[in-house]
Structure 1
Amino acid sequence: MPEEKPTEQSDVAEDAESETSDVYASRKEQRYPISSYTPVAYDNLEVAPESDAHPDTGSGGRFRELSLPKVPKLRHVVGPSAIMLGASLGSGETLFWPHLVANYGWGLYWLFLVAVCLHFVINTEIQRWTLATGESVFRAFERVHPVLPLAMLVGGFISLGWPGWAASAAQIGAQGLGLGTYDIAGVNIVGWRLFGIALMVFIWITYQVTPLMYNVVESLQLVLVALSIAFTLLLFVLIGSVDVLFSVPGSLTDVGDYSPVGTIAVLVGALAYAGAGGYLNLSQSLWIREKGYGMGRYQGRIKNPFAGDDPETVHEDGFTFTPDTQNLKRWRGWWRVTQLEHLLTFLLGLLLVTTILVVIAVSQAPGATSDAVDMWLIEIAPSVGGFTTSVIYVTLFLALFTTEYAIIESFVRNSSDIIYELYGREAGWSLPRLFWGLLTVFCGWGIFILTLPISISDPFGLLVVGAALSGLLMWPYIVIVQLVNTVRLPEHTMPGWGRIAAMWVAAAFFGYFSVLLIGTGLVTRLGLQAFAVQTAVLGSSPGGYALWAVFLLVQVYTMYRVGRAKVAADGTVADAATAKGWFS
């Protein structure tokens, strides 16, 4: 890609300053157009000593010493959070939260605000280990115990294995295009199934057109997200729900007839999908490694095994840096730019899209009696008519397809990393070929499901099941991420007290709703009344109290271990305060 020339005097001055900076990169040094990678002579690097200045290796191998790369400009690292935003658009933002608020009032919107802020903290904490070492969060889990990443893989497949988003996107797209039933070789095939198969094939093909598979994902997701936001804004203008938007502040205490236990699966799914949710959140670690954030710039990327380019080695054990003044300042700069990228792309994007769609749902379908998909297609779309109806179809299709694309990307990238590190590396497998094989199998699995002669009469119900399971997956990994980032990282890279407290709140938040979901599921699905739980805890059955006791024990243990590790690390690294910045 040709070098861009500064067009303003401020850019020239900025570059001149960066050229002499030991902390910030100039355009020549580090432009980050899509992804950035620096190959290193890994075997010739110094092995980091086992000391308080470097991460604890746990059951894994030793880290190699290198300096942190210089910190790039914010505009050069935008991308990973855009993919995460795309994974979120077709779930909580388009379906769950508009449906919940339209049914039960604006008081529930507070839960969305809390959940999305906690997702911001959780996602950036998932990034922390990779930023500091270059390793994926799954490798960090493996250093604790190999069963942990394997459990994440199983949970990810259970929650994401059904191509529900592709089916929903296909149904909406086919209805908007007026596709009916077709006779192919004497077999009647419904149009939306053909459309869904075409979408899965399209996703698979996109990975074949570039040597670095992450690049096409980032580029396409940026386009899809931009289109989704544009059509959402257009829909808001066409429907004209400005009065409802201005009334939001005064409506936040308005809660209708609502029982958290009665709709717990939908609520847990909505809380998990106030963001990407579940297994998808863990992808932030791998996406920033592919982009080249921090020490991830040295770790290696997954290239297309059939593109003809030389492969890059993805190292088993990561890197660490000596905590001198230069590296400490670079860490502070990296942490700042990482948070800003996630804040401005993911958090603000979610707040904008969700608020607009909730406003439209509340104004057009108050107290909606149907599920979230039918609310849009049966209650809202016909009532507005004409061009606006077409915009609704396009908006929903873009949001759902963007989510399905991100789900396939996330599942395949996460799963290939887990399988490779647990089994494939020792067996001599190629990580790029493993990635490509899983991509083909997962897309083929989706096509197989879409061709089965079964009726999907309740697509939203299938999405609720997957979303609820994603919510259940979040509680344990929030706890594990806390322990990894405080117990195993050195003082200058471990989270500060503000973030530790925020993660305690996140664990309590998702743990509380997980207990409600588990208890309610045992009662309604298995008839085990002994496990009945109450939202106020008091009044639960004996088994319900046992579930609450497990939740409390996990929370107390986590707070104790994390707090003790943080106190013990105080003063173990000279000048560690140099690395600390805003909400570090």
Structure 2
Amino acid sequence: MAKAVRTVPMGYGPPMEIGELPAPPPFNFRNFIRMIGVSAILISISIGSGEWLLGPRSVIQYGPALLWIATVATVLQTVFNLECQRYTLATGESIIPGLMRLWPGRWVWGPVWALICLLSVSPGWAASSATALAALHLGRLPTDADRGLVLVYGILAMLLVMLVMAFGSRVERTLARVSTFAVAFIFTSLIVLDLWLVPLEWWGRVAAGFFQFGYLPSGSGGGVDWTLIGGFAAYAATGGVLNMAASNWMRDRGWGMGSQVGYIPALVGGRKVEVSPTGKIFDLTAESLARFREWLRYSRWEQWTLYCGGCLLGMYLCVLLAVGLIEPGTPLKGNYDVAAIQAHAVSQVIGGLGWVWVLLIGFWVLWGTQISATDAVVRHLTDTLWSAGLGRWTRNDIRVVYYIIMAVITVWLAILFAYNPLTLVLLVANMAGVAFVLGGLTLLWLNTRVLPPELRPGWPSRLGLVLLSAFYAFFVYQTGQQVLRQLFGG
């Protein structure tokens, strides 16, 4: 006789089966290093348009004192990541299907989060990385006459995203390997260039900017570009639904109850994996609660040391190189002006190698963001549809859903290539602010009302989520107000 499956109600969604929470490896330095993965992917997104484009652009325009925004943003986003991961460790369910368990249910929250996801990905990163490739090809920054060449490189960059994500045993593992290489190359290059080229006085001035809390540019009217500052705030670490993907990648790594629900395998080299449409939760015993706390310990160490520290260091190194080579107040108009000026300045010191080196950094920064961000959005949409029962239409092979959505998103992004890359980056960056406002409050609701009391966050984490929503609400309000004035001439 088959053993009866026990279930428990979980919010406004389907009930969850009760499974067994596996024990994590004993906590020590060796095991901690072996389990690193999610933070590498997040840092590869972090060292992206926020650090390479928006951060330096904001500081050159308004001064290093603006960097306190990056400090607050990174700390609050770390709390947000941990609370997303808390839910997944407890249930094995990624966070957006979890949020669909809130009142009034999936038919309201599903479309809301699907729309936010679609507005949170753009080809701006691939287009900007294509600018770097075109500059390498031409030996100079491309002009309007070279738009065709940039478009070709941009389409190839997007196709390369699909190609890379198609191989391996599981998608998350391929992404982690690519991200680890990108992060190692970028950090090593930035450290060498900063030590070599940036005057010593800038090291202290930039560092001090991270602690000048409360500074904002004067003049709340047209003199302040709130679209730029709002985008910088949102992308100072990762950015909105991209942070939320930390729960998806954690599930696919098999952390906590994620090991009980399956993962998304790669198209080539992977095998069909049975993925549960719902999460699974564990019996609350002294042993299981001790295991849960140990999983949280791994998560906290990874987030507060590697993620939080890596994001702040990445912003510091990128801004340091920019302000050390570009005169503050220099007019910047093009989407790749900051990187181009840096590449030219470095080439003046070490010759053509400097031009190539800086452009390669820019390529890996921006293309690495494109691959991780695209996977994050495709993954969110896949999990949303899968939790709605789409498996019965695909013979329970989640790869069919993932790669169809990947293909559709790639075509959609190719259509958007006609628009200015910086405009696209700013659009999705400010949408990330909207995602944080809504996500912080709904995540608080989920983890304090749907999770059992024994698994709920303490007051510091609850306060952190409230502060996150309030922090980003300020920038969303300022940006929205400025955009409306520009549209209606107020």
Contact 2:32 2:298 in 1 (8 A): yes
Whether 1:483 aligns to 2:445 is: yes
State the 1:141 CA deviation: 1.5
Give secondary structure in 1 for the equivalent of 2:93. coil
Q: State the distance in 1 between where 2:6 and 2:137 align.
A: 60
| Cα separation, partners in 2 of 1:64 and 1:204, compared to 1, 3 Å | same
State the 1:79 CA deviation: 0.7
Q: State the distance in 2 between where 1:248 and 1:278 align.
A: 26
Per the alignment, residue 172 of structure 1 pairs with 132
State the 1:442 CA deviation: 2.0
State the 1:433 CA deviation: 0.3
State the 1:427 CA deviation: 4.5
Per the alignment, residue 71 of structure 1 pairs with 24
| Cα separation, partners in 2 of 1:45 and 1:203, compared to 1, 3 Å | farther
| Cα separation, partners in 2 of 1:460 and 1:181, compared to 1, 3 Å | closer
Per the alignment, residue 204 of structure 2 pairs with 246
Q: State the distance in 2 between where 1:260 and 1:388 align.
A: 39
Whether 1:230 aligns to 2:188 is: yes
1:95-154 Cα distance to aligned partner (Å, 9 max, x none)? 111111222122211111001111101111111111101111122112112121321111
From 488, 507, 512, the counterpart of 2:469: 507
State the 1:81 CA deviation: 1.6
TM-score by length of 2: 0.89
1:71-111 Cα distance to aligned partner (Å, 9 max, x none)? 12312321112111111211111111111122212221111
Please list every run of 5 or more consecutive structure 2 residues that lacks an aligned counterpart in the other structure. 26-30
| Cα separation, partners in 2 of 1:306 and 1:95, compared to 1, 3 Å | closer
Give secondary structure in 1 for the equivalent of 2:48. helix
Q: State the distance in 2 between where 1:361 and 1:180 align.
A: 19
Q: State the distance in 2 between where 1:358 and 1:437 align.
A: 38
Q: State the distance in 1 between where 2:389 and 2:268 align.
A: 23
| Cα separation, partners in 2 of 1:433 and 1:306, compared to 1, 3 Å | farther
State the 1:369 CA deviation: 1.3
One-letter code aligned to 1:62: P
Q: Which moved more, 1:253-262 or 1:224-233?
A: 253-262
Contact 2:43 2:238 in 1 (8 A): yes
State the 1:203 CA deviation: 1.6
Contact 1:211 1:303 in 2 (8 A): yes
Per the alignment, residue 402 of structure 1 pairs with 368
Q: State the distance in 1 between where 2:151 and 2:265 align.
A: 32
Give secondary structure in 2 for the equivalent of 1:320. strand
What is the aligned residue count? 469
State the 1:426 CA deviation: 5.7
Give secondary structure in 2 for the equivalent of 1:219. helix
Flag the structure with more relative contact order, 1 or 2, with Cα contacts below 8 A and sequence separation at least 6.
Answer: 2
Give secondary structure in 2 for the equivalent of 1:389. helix
Contact 2:45 2:369 in 1 (8 A): yes
Contact 2:43 2:307 in 1 (8 A): yes
Q: State the distance in 2 between where 1:45 and 1:495 align.
A: 32
State the 1:448 CA deviation: 4.5
| Cα separation, partners in 2 of 1:336 and 1:181, compared to 1, 3 Å | closer
Per the alignment, residue 439 of structure 1 pairs with 406
From 320, 323, 326, the counterpart of 2:284: 323
Q: State the distance in 2 between where 1:292 and 1:353 align.
A: 28
State the 1:236 CA deviation: 1.1
Whether 1:47 aligns to 2:14 is: no
| Cα separation, partners in 2 of 1:522 and 1:240, compared to 1, 3 Å | closer
Whether 1:294 aligns to 2:247 is: no
Contact 2:167 2:268 in 1 (8 A): no
From 130, 135, 144, the counterpart of 2:93: 135
Q: Percent identity?
A: 25
Contact 2:394 2:401 in 1 (8 A): no
Q: State the distance in 1 between where 2:13 and 2:188 align.
A: 46
| Cα separation, partners in 2 of 1:148 and 1:96, compared to 1, 3 Å | same
One-letter code aligned to 1:163: P
Contact 2:128 2:336 in 1 (8 A): no
One-letter code aligned to 2:84: I
Per the alignment, residue 94 of structure 1 pairs with 52
Q: State the distance in 1 between where 2:345 and 2:179 align.
A: 31
Q: State the distance in 1 between where 2:334 and 2:309 align.
A: 23
Q: Which moved more, 1:209-218 or 1:253-262?
A: 253-262
Q: Which moved more, 1:359-368 or 1:79-88?
A: 359-368
Q: State the distance in 2 between where 1:525 and 1:426 align.
A: 47
Give secondary structure in 1 for the equivalent of 2:455. coil
One-letter code aligned to 1:210: G
Q: State the distance in 2 between where 1:442 and 1:249 align.
A: 39
1:496-515 Cα distance to aligned partner (Å, 9 max, x none)? 01111111111111122222
Per the alignment, residue 23 of structure 1 pairs with none
Q: State the distance in 1 between where 2:73 and 2:16 align.
A: 35
Per the alignment, residue 434 of structure 2 pairs with 472
Relative to its length, the structure with more helix (as a share) is 2
Whether 1:303 aligns to 2:265 is: yes
Per the alignment, residue 496 of structure 1 pairs with 458
Please list every run of 5 or more consecutive structure 1 residues that lacks an aligned counterpart in the other structure. 1-42, 50-55, 183-187, 530-584
